[in-house]
Structure 1
Amino acid sequence: MDLREARRLFDPEPGWLNTASYGLPPRPAWTALQEALDDWRHGRTSWEPWAEATERARASFARLVGASPGDIAVSSAVSQQVGLVAAALPAGARVLVPEMEFTSNLFPYYVQRERGVIVETVPLADLLDRIDDRVDVVALSVVQSATGEVTDLATVAARARGAGARVVVDATQAVGWHKIDVAHVDALVCAAYKWLCAPRGTSFCYLAQDLREQITPHAAGWYAGADVHASYYGPEMKLASDARRFDLSPAWHCWVGAAPALELIEQVGVAAIGEYDVGLANGFRAGLGLPPGDSAIVSLGADVIPHDADQRPAEAGIRAAARAGSLRASFHLYTTEADVDAAVEALS
């Protein structure tokens, strides 16, 4: 699908520069969700068609990250999925994490410290140099939530594997505009309600086969069964042989909205979306006298904008976010050049 055609499928109010907090739904996703909610209201259908949307979304996400559907587990939140990986670490395992990492990819390791898991946080700029044979897991976001910094995942993976460490990645702020290949990681988690424009309550987890053989599916239920329809009642338990054994029972209507949204991202193509998003971000940076960057997220600290300018965007109808003491603006498919111009004017 042509990018211009796709952009016409969104209905944003002018000034939304906050996709890093949540993305806006394309019209096909919104319509599918409203129809499902109406069916639920009147009891017109069983739940199976809603569950089929979960499988469509799983397959679409797998294609976006270069995986197979059987390598992808579904859940509602990133921290639930990281927690399974963290709980499988042995006592004495050492985890290296950037110090400004979003806590969904940090706290699950911290809570394992009582078992002897060691968590070390370092500045992102020092991460690569701190990977050595004492490290068992390198956990990081491909794109940092607070700053928008983009990590060269292939370089980190090469260093980690050379040291015998696993790589666990949060790709929530990346998938949808930044190309990701799971060949570089052992585990990848991604909440879909940001750059994938899906409802909140949808999350994916890629697990390499050798890693998932070491993980216990602590929250296994009927949806983790080899045959979900034969897994309603006990006592016999036969879980799926692939990553589906880590599935949590899906919040149906969230996935009804997720499937069309992910499929649209696929149809447009991550490369085209990334070029558009980063182009807008660099237009914003240029308007403020900043050099170009490589991210769809721009973080502005007090050294860039006046101390009294933090309220100006809101007064001008620009919706951005305050993160880690900075103003964070993020740009996606539905952002316009007029949005960029308005934000620059508000901050100049």
Structure 2
Amino acid sequence: MEIVDAQPLWDPRPGYLNTSSYGLPPRPAFSALEVALDDWRHGRTSWEGWDESTKASRTSFATMLGVPATDVAVASTVSGLLGPVGAALPDGARVLVPDIEFTSNVFPWAVHADRGVEVVAVSPDKLAGAIDERTTLVAFSAVQSSTGEVAAYDEIVAAARAVGAMVVVDATQAIGWLHRDWAAADVVVVGAYKWLMAPRGVAYAYLSPAVRDGFRPLQAGWYAGDDPHTSYYGLPLRLAEDARRFDVSPAWFCFVGQAPALQILLDVGVDRVNAHNVGLANRFRAGLGLAPSDSAIVSTDVADAEAKLKAAGIRAAVRGGKVRVSFHLYSTTADVDSALAALTR
């Protein structure tokens, strides 16, 4: 599907440049959610139909990453998915993170300070070079949420592999518009309510078979069972053999709204989305006299940028004292030009 064919599936009010905060649902996703909510309201159906969306979403997400669906766990938050990874760290472990990393990929390690776990923060551009034999785990975002900086993914992974360190990647700001060899990492976590355009309450984790047997499924419940339908009551413990044992019982309606959005992204293709998003970002950067970049996110310190954009009806965010704009499949050149007109007026 071409971008021009996909864009009519969205109904954004012009000037929405804030996908880094939350993505907008395509009409098929919003309609599916409305139907599910109405069925819930009137008690017309059972939950099994809603759960089919969870299965479809897991499969589509795995396809997007290029990994088997059996290696993907579903939950509601990134930090919740990282909890078992943090708990598996040995006493005295050394964790390396960027100094601007979002806390959902910092706090799950820092809470183990009482066991001697040390979290060391360095600037993103020095991350690969700081990895050494003392490093137990390196955790970083594929794209930084505050600045839009795209991490040197291959370089960081290679440096970690050279010393036997585990690699954990938060790809929340990347999956959906950026291709990487995601299976090269040990753990890839994603909050889906941004670039994957799910309702808030959908998260995924790719858990490599090479490491996940060392994690304890601390949130195990019926949905993590080998057969959830026969795992409602009592012992014995009977968890799934694959990554599903790390599943958390899903917020069904969120996955109902997720499945159609993921399918549209797959139909369009991440390469096309990348070209569209980065192209718009570079059009915006050029209008401000900035050099081109490889990111769909632009952080700018134009004087009074927040007030100027707000006055023009442009919705953006402020991170680190700078205005952050982000461009996704439903963004247009008109959105870019309106934002530039507001900032350069």
Q: TM-score range by the shorter chain?
A: over 0.9
Identity of paired residues, percent? 57
**Does the Cα contact within 8 Å between 2:138 and 2:167 map onto a contact in 1?**
yes
Distance in 1, Cα, partners of 2:3 & 2:17: 19
1:319 maps onto 2:311 in alignment: no
Helix, strand or coil for the counterpart of 1:148? coil
1:138 maps onto 2:134 in alignment: no
Gapped regions of structure 1 (runs ≥ 5) = none
Report what 1:331 is aligned to: 327
Report what 1:85 is aligned to: 85
Aligned-partner residue type, residue 133 of structure 2: D
| TM-score of the two chains, using structure 2 as the length reference | 0.99
Helix, strand or coil for the counterpart of 1:275? helix
Report what 2:275 is aligned to: 275
User: Which contiguous aligned blocks of 4+ residues in structure 1 show a shift greater than 6 angstroms?
Assistant: none
Distance in 2, Cα, partners of 1:64 & 1:310: 34
Report what 2:153 is aligned to: 153
Report what 1:220 is aligned to: 220
Distance in 2, Cα, partners of 1:245 & 1:12: 38
TM-superposed deviation, 1:84: 1.3
Report what 1:238 is aligned to: 238
Distance in 2, Cα, partners of 1:60 & 1:199: 16
Distance in 1, Cα, partners of 2:275 & 2:152: 17
TM-superposed deviation, 1:152: 2.4
Distance in 2, Cα, partners of 1:57 & 1:183: 18
Alignment of 1:243-254 (within 5 A): 243-254=243-254
TM-superposed deviation, 1:6: 0.9
Distance in 1, Cα, partners of 2:113 & 2:74: 26
| TM-score of the two chains, using structure 1 as the length reference | 0.98
Distance in 1, Cα, partners of 2:183 & 2:203: 20
**Does the Cα contact within 8 Å between 2:150 and 2:295 map onto a contact in 1?**
yes
Distance in 1, Cα, partners of 2:24 & 2:212: 33
Report what 2:342 is aligned to: 346
Distance in 1, Cα, partners of 2:88 & 2:3: 42
Distance in 2, Cα, partners of 1:183 & 1:257: 26
TM-superposed deviation, 1:210: 2.2
**Does the Cα contact within 8 Å between 1:153 and 1:184 map onto a contact in 2?**
no
TM-superposed deviation, 1:140: 0.1
Helix, strand or coil for the counterpart of 1:313? helix
Aligned-partner residue type, residue 109 of structure 1: W
**Residues 58-104 of structure 1, C-alpha deviation per residue, up to 9 Å, x if partnerless?**
00000000111100000000000111111110101110000000110
Gapped regions of structure 2 (runs ≥ 5) = none
TM-superposed deviation, 1:237: 1.5
Helix, strand or coil for the counterpart of 1:108? helix
Distance in 1, Cα, partners of 2:181 & 2:175: 10
**Residues 34-53 of structure 1, C-alpha deviation per residue, up to 9 Å, x if partnerless?**
00001001111100010110
1:117 maps onto 2:113 in alignment: no
**Does the Cα contact within 8 Å between 1:64 and 1:180 map onto a contact in 2?**
no
**Residues 206-261 of structure 1, C-alpha deviation per residue, up to 9 Å, x if partnerless?**
01112110000001000000000100000222000000000000001000011111
Alignment of 1:47-62 (within 5 A): 47-62=47-62
Report what 1:64 is aligned to: 64
Helix, strand or coil for the counterpart of 1:159? helix
Distance in 2, Cα, partners of 1:323 & 1:114: 31
When the two chains are superposed, the root-mean-square deviation of aligned CA atoms in Å is 0.8
Aligned-partner residue type, residue 327 of structure 1: V
**Does the Cα contact within 8 Å between 2:305 and 2:323 map onto a contact in 1?**
no
Helix, strand or coil for the counterpart of 1:8? helix
**Does the Cα contact within 8 Å between 2:222 and 2:232 map onto a contact in 1?**
yes
TM-superposed deviation, 1:163: 1.2
**Does the Cα contact within 8 Å between 1:224 and 1:245 map onto a contact in 2?**
yes
Report what 1:300 is aligned to: 300
Distance in 2, Cα, partners of 1:82 & 1:221: 17
TM-superposed deviation, 1:270: 0.3
TM-superposed deviation, 1:116: 1.3
**Residues 118-147 of structure 1, C-alpha deviation per residue, up to 9 Å, x if partnerless?**
110011111111011110101000000000
Distance in 2, Cα, partners of 1:184 & 1:177: 18
TM-superposed deviation, 1:325: 0.9
